[in-house]
A and B are shown apart, each in its own frame.
Chain A
């Protein structure tokens, strides 16, 4: 989305010597120009025009290294093209020390924008298992990175206190490529049994209690603007789900008259992986293009193909890496009990169905 910047210039009338202006050709970055000066063309323009970031105290500004950039002179105009484009919302200061001393403060203002907000949190149900491993926070706009764990907190409504460090806090943060979806992992050390953090602190979520996930509205989007408002998700915690996914138990119905194939999964599955790791193939093994819809809090998967169904055989294919929110996979629970020797192997599962 192209955002048109509105430029704010400090007071510097054309009668002044020199005069400063910020210009930009369409599609190009902003360039600082200095005109109407009498200093002769110098080899060493950087000594006559210094551009720095303008925030902080006068002492900090005096100590600041000038910005990297290229200086060019043509017919009375000195141009400074910064190495990296002037950033929106940052205050800059141009200091001229040619025949006189002049300062020019400028910034490229952020236009008034629509603020980002949380649009959904998955799993969307309000009864979640004690060993839940992963949630997704969906935002309406690209968010900034680096601040997530200051902006998400888990509150235990039952015990009336915040849960200490319930999440896996990674500096790198797990975002989708467009930075609109944040993956929140609960600390696996407090979920996996017989692992030290769980032994010491216990699980973050406890069955029988109620919790609220709180998103702080101060979380900034990629343009530095805070959210329109905060977000709460309150949920009750139920017993741990340690069941592997078994697509052989799924109920396949349809396609109905509207052309929708419906699959009842028996329990909520991972909202993201259901988009990628379950698909329909036709009788010659070609993947069918179409739209996937999730309902009943991600426990029903529906498919509407782009091309109408033909009479004949189809296959519902389930990649073994499909997970539920607790990390249980196809034929492989999150924690495989090694003392049991009869665990089936995790494999891609195919359910055949016929369209009549």
Chain B
């Protein structure tokens, strides 16, 4: 999921290769209290009639227009498992987002399904009037990044942008994007993306044209055993930072000041992680979903040691 302006929620449905833009109408700021909801899968499960273990939270995003939290949920594991969006309002209440009579538009992704081929949507983002969709095919190994005009225009369903990884200027390979966020560097909109082979790269949004071949600028080589989940950008003490939820290594904090000066990594990196400097924020353990609540706080979905799934806001490190 991703939010556009004015409370528009983009939701990707890989099964139908469709992206929906839903006008939630949720545009009024609703307070600044901390968020704390414990055993959220247990609570959602009660509402929808399944045990907590059968509630899968696929994504969690904060609506910047209102501060309310949206969760993409799958109920059960069957082939016809219901999919729903649950809204957590700042007063702590959970409710299903009603889909009847809701205003929405949609776009079907080009070339996404053919026989057994299916594209999984790994990340969505909105920048410069465009919805950016990163996907990974279940067959050929290739990046399927698309930049789609919004409001959706029939003619532009976002033909793929070929993303490549250039390892030290020597080997060029296909580079599916695992997760990305949008970010401004020196006034220019960029996407900050983590590849499946783990380099962290920046790509100018204006370069994402249909049919284009783009090689991201590597600004960091993440170490081994990484599973980058979510990336957010925030300001603290007047400086920009990037926070990355990483399954194996907890949360990593990266100073973004270095980005505009960072040189593309072309020499073999020495030491554990080369490029920009990291701080590992180890006390944020078990984070499954990360989003920005506001400039000072992040929102995280955490799996506790006892298996409980808890949502809470936490000060940016």
Contact A273 B49, beta carbon cutoff 8 Å: no
- List, in ascending order, chain A residues with CB within 8 A of B15's CB: 177
Check A223 for interface membership: any CB of B closer than 8 A.
Answer: yes
- Bound-state CA distance A90–B49 (Å) is 9
Contact B113 A177, beta carbon cutoff 8 Å: yes
In A240-298, the 8 Å CB interface with B consists of: 270, 272-273, 275-276
Check A105 for interface membership: any CB of B closer than 8 A.
Answer: no
- List, in ascending order, chain A residues with CB within 8 A of B174's CB: 327, 334
Which of A60, A67, A223 is B78 in contact with, Cβ under 8 Å?
A223
Contact B223 A270, beta carbon cutoff 8 Å: no
Q: A15-23, A96-104, A162-170, A226-234: which lies at the B interface? A: A162-170
Besides A87-B78, A190-B224, A196-B273, 6 other A-B contacts (C-beta < 8 A): A67-B48, A87-B76, A134-B141, A177-B113, A189-B224, A200-B223
Chain A residues bordering chain B, tally (CB within 8 A): 73
- Interface residues of B, Cβ cutoff 8 Å to A: 14-15, 42-43, 45-51, 54, 56, 75-79, 82, 96, 113-118, 120-122, 136-142, 165-174, 178, 196-199, 221-227, 229, 247, 268-269, 272-274
Minimum CB–CB distance for A137 against chain B, Å: 12
- List, in ascending order, chain B residues with CB within 8 A of A169's CB: 227, 247
- List, in ascending order, chain A residues with CB within 8 A of B43's CB: 65
- Bound-state CA distance A66–B46 (Å) is 6
Check A193 for interface membership: any CB of B closer than 8 A.
Answer: yes
Contact A189 B197, beta carbon cutoff 8 Å: yes
- List, in ascending order, chain A residues with CB within 8 A of B221's CB: 195-196
**7 residue pairs A–B, Cβ–Cβ below 8 Å:** A165-B225, A170-B178, A176-B118, A197-B198, A197-B225, A201-B224, A338-B170
- Bound-state CA distance A65–B52 (Å) is 12
Minimum CB–CB distance for B56 against chain A, Å: 6
**Smallest Cβ-Cβ distance to B14: which chain A residue:** A172
Check A321 for interface membership: any CB of B closer than 8 A.
Answer: yes
Known contacts A145-B77, A194-B268, A276-B114; A176/B196 CB under 8 A: no
- Bound-state CA distance A188–B177 (Å) is 12
- List, in ascending order, chain A residues with CB within 8 A of B118's CB: 174-177
- Bound-state CA distance A108–B315 (Å) is 45
Contact B171 A338, beta carbon cutoff 8 Å: yes
- List, in ascending order, chain A residues with CB within 8 A of B77's CB: 144-146, 220, 222-224
- Bound-state CA distance A7–B223 (Å) is 53
Minimum CB–CB distance for B62 against chain A, Å: 19
**Smallest Cβ-Cβ distance to B288: which chain A residue:** A171
Contact B173 A90, beta carbon cutoff 8 Å: no
Check A125 for interface membership: any CB of B closer than 8 A.
Answer: no
Which of A146, A187, A338 is B166 in contact with, Cβ under 8 Å?
A338
- List, in ascending order, chain B residues with CB within 8 A of A194's CB: 167-168, 170-171, 268
